[in-house]
Structure 1
């Protein structure tokens, strides 16, 4: 654990050396590094999330698109990177965030859940299975094996969490991400039944609020997250929220609960 803490402090310093506030609003603010748990946690604590290139072709595309920005210094390359374009680090401006008190459901989904008497939700029951399901069948494999391994270690250390939605004993939806104090950065979700993925996000928001959480960062904006209550906030506001609440921590409740409670 001492080695882990020392390494985390080293990567905290690495990210501090980046001008994240002055980085590009869209696309990566940095390239390079690796996807070990210390690197990942230090990055999330600084408002960054990874977007690895899953194939050699994607790395070439990154280089073609961003080489001029790297040469100009507007996008940084982390020191010691053998293949810098294999990992992009993003910090969008603005950032779509669901304040826990503003999370909402569409009426149709609330009605659907009232009738799903066999649906239940849990947390942290099968983290790796949720992550693997989030990448199943998707052409763009940003959830690489290296990233999956790093996230699973973060889960074992209590920093990464999942929410599962079940129909009886069948896993039908879920979401996962990394917690930094009172902010949860949700990486991805999946759904095998209509509404199950959205139910996972709202359940996460409920459980996180009960654990003292203030906001769920959904990373990428879009109509689907706006419908759940996400509002874009400026990057400086998001980074301030992270910095001022990073030490808040109460355990996330993990017990199995009826999904229909979310419709109330």
Structure 2
């Protein structure tokens, strides 16, 4: 068995390219931030069945030392798996763009605006709604809210008049912002949220949006697959930088314009 006292002692580059790379019960704000800085993100289980399933599937690999345990020995680790896929889907902020049809809708006076960090908890809970499995547990939400208060976690909101119609949230690690989840109540609203986040992060000096898990949906955003080693080494260079983003409420139609004119 391989047990690491904390995230700094874990070398994620030695982990398998798919499947969980560690188990750790600690979802505190400090643990969460340290794990993201090391290139991992959590996937908490929503019930006892899912927790037992983790143990059944992975206990042998843990005993063999191929999946390490992180944290105190007294903790029950199987309630939270931690992931770091190889390759990693990322979106360079300079490459973020909207589809032609969505850009056309915005230019034709679709009455949307965007904001930063005005409704962080509401965005998180909208992302949690109707999701299965329910990985956004109350414990994780509480830590994300605390990290938001400390300036590490951010949300973008998309508004139609006073109605919240879309959004995205994630955790910033230096010049990388790792997007945890997004939602929409109007077609295209989550893509507008990601485009807005890229524009604001680029203005602050950010470089990459991390989509965490590859899927057709994130490919549609324009993500690229990069080796995990490249992603982690980029994190290590800038992990403790804080890049304040502009917070003004802005018209979403600006995102339909060429990058230089936004």
- TM-score normalised to structure 1 length: 0.92
Contact kept? 2:5, 2:71, Cα under 8 Å: no
Mean Cα displacement is larger for which, 53-62 or 141-150?
A: 53-62
The SS at the match of 1:21 is helix
Give 1:139's aligned residue.
132
Contact kept? 2:5, 2:70, Cα under 8 Å: no
Give 1:170's aligned residue.
163
The SS at the match of 1:162 is strand
- TM-score normalised to structure 2 length: 0.93
Give 2:225's aligned residue.
232
Give 1:213's aligned residue.
206
| Residues in 1 aligned to 2:106 and 2:241: alpha-carbon distance in whole angstroms | 32
Unpaired runs of 5+ residues, structure 2, are 258-262
Is the aligned partner of 1:97 residue 2:105? no
The match for 2:177 among 176, 179, 184 is 184
Report the number of matched residues: 253
Mean Cα displacement is larger for which, 231-240 or 110-119?
A: 110-119
The SS at the match of 2:156 is strand
The match for 1:22 among 14, 17, 32 is 14
Is the aligned partner of 1:54 residue 2:46? yes
1:27-106 → structure 2 map (5 Å cutoff): 27-80=19-72, 81-106=74-99
| Residues in 1 aligned to 2:96 and 2:65: alpha-carbon distance in whole angstroms | 38
Q: Which runs of 4+ in 1 moved over 6 A?
A: none
Mean Cα displacement is larger for which, 90-99 or 14-23?
A: 14-23
Is the aligned partner of 1:260 residue 2:253? yes
| Residues in 1 aligned to 2:32 and 2:117: alpha-carbon distance in whole angstroms | 19
| Residues in 1 aligned to 2:153 and 2:165: alpha-carbon distance in whole angstroms | 20
| Residues in 2 aligned to 1:115 and 1:164: alpha-carbon distance in whole angstroms | 20
